[in-house]
Amino acid sequence: MLTSRSTLTRDQIIEDALSHGRSLAWQEKWIAGIQAGIEAADRGDFANEEEIAAVLSKYGQA
């Protein structure tokens, strides 16, 4: 359930979805992606320096 993986209440999640034009399914997918990223980080699965440099080169440094 979305509410069990978010710090927002059910009403806040619905309000956010409606005000930003995002469906609850979109939010579920977004949270699943965040969770996958956290799990990867917990495993130590990070981009190396060359991969980071390639992305910065492609999109420009901020």
CB of 50 closer than 8 Å to CB of 25: no
Q: Whole-number mean pLDDT of the chain?
A: 82
Instruction: List the domain range (segments joined by +) for residue 7.
Output: 2-59
Number of alpha carbons in the 13 Å side-chain half-sphere of residue 31: 16
* Neighbouring residues of 35: CB distance < 8 A, sequence distance ≥ 6: 5
Q: Residues 11-31: pLDDT tens digits?
A: 887 887 788 877 878 888 888
Q: What pTM, to 2 d.p., does this model score?
A: 0.50
Task: Judge whether residue 52 has pLDDT over 80.
Answer: yes
Q: How many domains does the chain have?
A: 1
Q: CB 8: neighbour CB atoms within 10 A? A: 14
